[in-house]
Amino acid sequence: MTAEPDLKQKSSSIRIGGACGYWGDASIATRQLLSEGNLDFIVYDYLAEITMSIMARAISKDWQSGYASDFISLAIQPNLEEIARQGVKIISNAGGINPLSCSRAVDKLIGETGYGLKVACVTGDNLLDRSNELSQLGIRGMFEDDDFPDPKAIGSINVYTGAFAIARALKKGADIVIVGRCVDSAVTLGACIYSFGWTREMLDQLALGSLAGHIIECGTQATGGNFTDWRLVADNMDNLGYPIVEVDRAGGFVVTKPERSEGLVSIGTVGEQIVYEIDDPQNYLLPDVCCDFSNVKLNQIADNKIAVSGAKGFPAPTDLKTVITWHDGFRGGQYLTFYGFDAADKADKFARAAIGRAERILDEHNLPPYTSTSIEILGNESQYGKQAIVENVREVCIKIAARHQTSTGIAILSREITGLALSGPPGLSGFAGTRPRPSPVMKLFSCLLPRDVAPLTIHFDTQQEIVAQTIENSKSGYKREKPEFPQDWVTEKSEFSGDTTRVELIKLAWARSGDKGNKANIGIIARDKKYLPFIWQQLDEQAMALWFDHFLEGEVKRYYMPGLGAINYVLDRVLDGGGTASLRNDPQAKGYAQLALAIEIEIPVEMAAGLL
């Protein structure tokens, strides 16, 4: 195994464009970023837990698949001439389960066009062929202490890898680097390590480079997409600018977007992306560094330019997060609509009748019952649970879903939903073709494995180079002193006198939510820090748990982020398994922030005067 090379370069600053936030992101991103004309790198993040399960199913049917084919057909092929002309380097985790096949496809395309670009591929994160070995080690789940899955049911095993192998591939001369399941931010950090020669010991720089990657890893979510104040960009939604970070050698960076694009880069848009899908902001664990984002600060230095500072780095963890997808039966369901008088009642009765009829047929055929069922009436505020009961609703969308050990059980439910149409209440409608088919339930098992379990291999030209993931300065469970909310501030600001009024949280804060497996996070950022004491005092863990008690099966934790004036809430066991296992309308908590923003906070009347 080779030692890590000296990667020092001459660059004083670099510009990196983020062109993809998930597999299925818009095809305009690469062309738009290239039109800016002065980028050093374009990076792509295609992967999520759900994506890995989809790719695992694909490769089981075709050994040459298992990667994001859109990367080749929509990102590279139409833009290859301009990529070559500008000399922009491309880094992508489009390799998914099968980065070698992905790199071969790109190599073939380049060979056909004659542009002469060089492709490197990084493998080693895929441990599927070691499932039997790993199952004998007594490995437990890192979140719920559950058992290691049956190897016969496993679809994928991937270690989350870091950025130094990416930097090494660039150093070897690659113009395009394709990797498998690296962490989302590593494609950006790898560009920084290569350009500035950052070493393992430069922890603050690694943390800031990782934060830059975290901000641009979801594309337009940093430039107005999914923004609380969405009306600010609503008229230009079709041309939002994809994010660009301008990073300097010391690690400071500015977030911006192409000048001729629409959208918004502000404290609100960037702040929302920072709190997206994090847990403890002081202990954001990555393969290369443990990050503390609690004191990150944002400064609007110009229109659509935000300077970011304040991230701190600490030694990387001794173990690497590993995610396993495994098959656990099937799921399926259908959306239908009811309109007219008593629409919600009609929908509820119809759904219960369909499930009841299907359950009787299962029993008649000696099949096991459904492992779980779900009925959600959208339009009757079902997502708000007990807090909202709407009367006299005249149009709703009903979602009926179930899980079963067999695909036959799901097919029976689908057939009976359709077959009940002439027996149900009036007002049933829908827009559909054939009946939905059963789909496999791919559950997630997350665990920690030692760093040396997965050495990486760089494939470049006809050569291979092995790069160890073991490092000398790693630490396990590094803890810092938790920032406490100032008690004198709470006393001074929240023990107010005089008249008060209640306002919805959306008047006081921005918010963004997301998922990690069966967990959800909701980051609340005060529009003005004067509102923070009122939010902190009234919206504690118990209040948030009560608001989500119709979904929540675990506990709620909250974390104070003084730099942003933010509070991050983490809800455990709240997504019915999450991802491809969940029966929920929102299995990834993307709308949970919207639910939380409806919570009412009591503030002084004089403070509310400018809000109402």
Residue in the block written with tokens 């499930």: 355
Beta bridge partners of 179: 122
User: Each residue of 447-458: pLDDT tens digit?
Assistant: 999 999 989 999
Report the 10 Å Cβ neighbour count for 87. 10
Mean pLDDT of 117-146: 94
Structurally, at CATH architecture level, domain 325-443 sits in: 2-Layer Sandwich (3.30)
Location of each CATH 3.30.70 domain in the chain: 325-443
Strands (E), 203-318: 244-248, 253-256, 284-285, 290-292, 297-302, 305-309, 312-314
Round to whole Å and give the CA distance between 412 and 399: 16
% of the chain beyond a pLDDT of 70:
95
Cα four-point dihedral sign 403, 407, 408, 412: positive
Q: Which two three-digit tokens encode residue 480? A: 């810092």
Cβ neighbours of 240 (radius 10 Å): 25
pLDDT digits (tens, 9 = 90+) for 7-35: 445 569 999 999 999 999 989 999 999 99
Residue 557 DSSP one-character state:
E
| CA 436 vs CA 53, 60, 207, 596: distances in Å | 19, 22, 45, 32
DSSP 102-115: HHHHHHHHHHHHT-
Q: What is the DSSP string of 208-222?
A: HHHHHHHHHTTGGGG
The yes-or-no verdict on residue 544 having pLDDT over 50 is: yes
Q: What is the mean pLDDT of residues 261-281?
A: 97
pLDDT the model gives residue 299: 98
61-70, 253-262, 329-338, 562-571: least confident range: 61-70
**Is there a contact between 52 and 76 (Cβ–Cβ < 8 Å)?**
no
| Average pLDDT value for residue range 144-165 | 94
CB–CB of 504/547 below 8 Å? no
**Integer Cα distance of 138 and 481 in angstroms:** 33
Give tens-digit pLDDT for 447-491.
999 999 989 999 999 899 999 888 887 777 666 777 888 876 655
Identify the band that residue 549 occupies on the pLDDT scale cut at 50, 70 and 90.
very high
pLDDT recorded at residue 229: 97
pLDDT of res. 609 = 83
Q: Residue range 145-152: average pLDDT? A: 94
| pLDDT band per the 50, 70, 90 thresholds, residue 1 | very low
Q: What's phi and psi for 423, nearest 5 deg?
A: -100, -10
Q: Residue 18 and residue 30: Cα distance in Å, rounded? A: 9
Distance, in Å, from the CA atom of 62 to the CA atom of 610, rounded to the nearest integer, reads 60
Residue 579: band (very low, low, confident or very high) from pLDDT cuts 50, 70, 90: confident
Classify each residue of 179-192 as buried b or exposed e, where b means 16 or more C-beta atoms within 10 Å of its C-beta.
Answer: bbbbbbbbbbbbbb
pLDDT tens-digit readout, 34-82:
998 799 999 999 998 778 878 888 888 888 899 999 999 999 999 999 9
Strands 319-339 and 395-404, by their bridges, are antiparallel
Three-state DSSP class for residue 469: coil
Q: What SS3 class is residue 233? A: coil
pLDDT at 392: 83
Mean pLDDT to the nearest integer, 311-331: 94
Whole-number Cα distances in Å, 49 to 101, 181, 220, 426: 20, 10, 20, 41
What is residue 8's predicted lDDT score, i.e. its pLDDT? 47
DSSP β-bridge partners for residue 54:
none
Tokens linked to 429 = 């409608």
pLDDT digits (tens, 9 = 90+) for 513-523: 999 889 999 99
Check pLDDT > 50 for residue 342: yes
Cα separation of 8 and 196, whole Å?
Answer: 6
Distance CA 54, CA 544 (A): 33
What HEC string does 380-428 produce? CCHHHHHHCCCCCCCEEEEEEEEEECCHHHHHHHHHHHHHCCCCCCCCE
Indicate whether 511 pLDDT > 90.
yes
The mean pLDDT of the chain is 92
Signed CA dihedral, 340, 346, 351, 356: sign only: negative
What confidence tens digit (pLDDT) does each residue in 354-370 have?
A: 999 999 999 999 999 99
pLDDT of residue 492: 52
For range 103-116, the mean pLDDT? 93
Dist. CA 18–CA 145, nearest whole Å? 36
> What is the predicted pLDDT for the residue at 5?
45
Residues in the chain: 612
Query: Within 10 A of 156 (CB to CB), how many other CB atoms are there?
Result: 26
Q: What is the pLDDT of residue 469?
A: 87
What tens digit of pLDDT does each residue of 379-424 get? 999 999 866 677 789 999 999 999 999 999 999 999 999 999 999 9
Task: Give the dihedral sign, CA 334/441/161/89.
Answer: negative
Local confidence band at 145 (pLDDT 50, 70, 90 cut-offs): confident
* Distance (Å) of CA 495 to CA 297, 490, 502, 534: 28, 8, 15, 9
Report CA Rg, the chain.
Answer: 25
Q: Sort strands 244-248 and 13-20 into parallel, antiparallel or unpaired.
A: antiparallel
Residue 232's nearest CA partner among 255, 256, 263 is: 263
Q: Give me the residues paired with residue 177 across strands.
A: 91, 120
DSSP state of 128: G
pLDDT value of residue 387: 61
Is residue 290 a contact partner of residue 235, using CB atoms and an 8 Å limit?
Answer: no
Find, among 68, 564, 519, 111, the residue nearest to 296 by Cα. Answer: 564
Question: What contacts 24+ positions apart, CB below 8 Å, involve 131-138?
Answer: 131/157, 134/449
Tokens of 98: 């099968």
Separation CA 492–CA 486 (nearest Å): 10
